[in-house]
A = this chain, B = another copy of it.
Amino acid sequence: MDSELIPGLIGVLGGMGPMATVDFMQKVLQATPSATDQDHIPMVVSSIPQIPDRTAAFRGDGQSPLRAMIASGLRLSRAGAGLIVVPCNTAHLWYSELQSAVGLPMLHLVDAALQDAVARAGEGVTVGLLCTDATLASGLYVNRTQYLASATSVQWALPTAGEMLESVMPGIEAVKSGALDVGRKHLLTAANALFRRGAQVLVLGCTEIPLVLDDSNAPAPVVDATASLARRTVAWSLSQRAVPTV
């Protein structure tokens, strides 16, 4: 039905987990210049929490989420989405296969975060990374630097295994359980270690971490990867609005 085509309709492939999807949607609202409801961008969201666990699949302990992610992406495509975004770090391990199968343009969460890190701290910056064990071990962030614009490079400062086990993972778990003060203390410990080893900007590559770390308390400027993706999502949608939509 052509009459229902909505310019700039975003497809959010969500449910991984469902709270991260809601968090992303809030950041999209915050990133949108708006005076009225109608200024906000249109989105269709497929929030399917039954998609198999991404971390378990990465570790070889569970089935691949790819088939269910493709089904969700095709659902968004049929609903008229012009762009697919996936507000889940670990799900990006299947980014290329997903994009091939769904056939719509996508924005990559890590690209968005790295572009923001370079914008904040400059070319050749040392980026400190705070994320889950699976995100770190998969190389999701460090392997993606090859997709930055050709003249751009970054250096990485990564947590040690001890810091992951003693600070980062306990910090994320504490935030998940609602113990924000405990989580903040653990994650600041890890952030300070990265800062002492030269990190000039901290990329927060996990949904829970921005709930307790921000520019006001971290030892270096922070980039919330989810917010970076939200800002680029809004920019894409607004760029498609050549004419007012109803």
- State A53–B50 Cα separation when bound (angstroms): 35
Which residue of B3, B29, B44 is within 8 Å of A19 (Cβ)?
B29
Q: In the complex, what residues of B have CB within 8 A of residue A40's CB?
A: 15, 17-18, 49
Is A213 part of the contact surface with B, judged by Cβ < 8 Å? no
Docked-complex contact A49 and B44, CB < 8 angstroms? no
Docked-complex contact B45 and A49, CB < 8 angstroms? no
Docked-complex contact A44 and B45, CB < 8 angstroms? yes
Docked-complex contact A38 and B49, CB < 8 angstroms? yes
Is A221 part of the contact surface with B, judged by Cβ < 8 Å? no
Query: A25-B25, A246-B52 are contacts. A47–B42 as well, Cβ < 8 Å?
Result: yes
Q: In the complex, what residues of B have CB within 8 A of residue A37's CB?
A: 15-18, 49, 53
Docked-complex contact B42 and A49, CB < 8 angstroms? yes
Query: A49-B41, A50-B6, A52-B246 are contacts. A22–B29 as well, Cβ < 8 Å?
Result: yes
User: Chain A 40-65, CB within 8 Å of chain B: the 1/0 string?
Assistant: 11111111111011000000000000
Docked-complex contact A44 and B47, CB < 8 angstroms? yes
Within 1-45 of A, Cβ neighbours of B (below 8 Å) are at 1, 3-4, 6, 12, 15-19, 21-22, 25-26, 29, 36-45
The 7 closest A-B pairs by CB, nearest first: A17-B37, A45-B45, A40-B49, A4-B71, A18-B40, A43-B47, A37-B49
Name A's B-contacting residues (CB within 8 A): 1, 3-4, 6, 12, 15-19, 21-22, 25-26, 29, 36-50, 52-53, 68, 71, 74-75, 78-80, 245-246
